[in-house]
Structure 1
């Protein structure tokens, strides 16, 4: 009888471990460059951000590098995505003065400058970041 209980306990632990791994794999922070529009001498970048982590992100600020169409760094800047509730999409726009949208070739999320969860610094922003683009501009992490 004892070996059967041990086997049952091991099977339960394995299932619990698999469920936890699946949940961790599903948890992520997705940032999509959805649109870019010329606005005078500026380029307005529109991002759709979805926090698929179980906890709310109080503040997410990313160090972001913008590259021109020759592959050169145009500028290094900070994009403040603000508070990101769990399980909800948010739209954030950034005006980049002095940048022509048609000269923007790549956006690199260099890392999280600020990331707080429950009032404490967290690595969740960088650790779970997934980036995509609906535009011709490449987005990297």
Structure 2
């Protein structure tokens, strides 16, 4: 036991990796459905937070989402376009979904990457979908 404690004290990163509930590595990108609210009589407003944990900035980050109604039918496939995302930055954006009643939304799924480019022009689609994690603070299901 003393050897394990000494090893963890000598290598604090190993202690962090072994802590319950602490992920070994942070995701590259995070999308959080923060809030869903009626925008006007004929649209629903999504407040979505994007966090770029990648080591490089993105010149454009946009995801297509699928909106399912409360019966499981897909009702819309809008694109959430965040534009540029600086490295290490959190960005909040509002997206109005016309013709959508918030109370009828059953779940929202990140369907695909519409575009994901680094500042040097390279395609980063793998980072934008394969390295994507989701969080949810709304009352409906949200994820990949």
TM-score category, normalised to shorter length: 0.7 to 0.9
Aligned to 2:80: 79
2:135 equivalent to 1:132 = yes
Please, which runs of 5 or more residues in structure 2 have no aligned partner?
A: 1-10, 15-23
TM-score by length of 1: 0.79
| Structure of higher CA gyration radius | 1
- Partner of 1:102, secondary structure, is helix
- Counterpart CA distance in 2 for 1:42 and 1:135 is 17
More strand by share: 1
- Counterpart CA distance in 1 for 2:128 and 2:143 is 15
- Partner of 2:25, secondary structure, is helix
After TM superposition, the runs of 4+ consecutive aligned structure 1 residues lying more than 2 A away are: 24-27
Aligned to 1:33: 33
User: How far did 1:27 drift?
Assistant: 4.2
User: How far did 1:99 drift?
Assistant: 0.4
2:27/2:133 contact within 8 Å kept:
no
The alignment of Structure 1 onto Structure 2 pairs a total of residues equal to 120
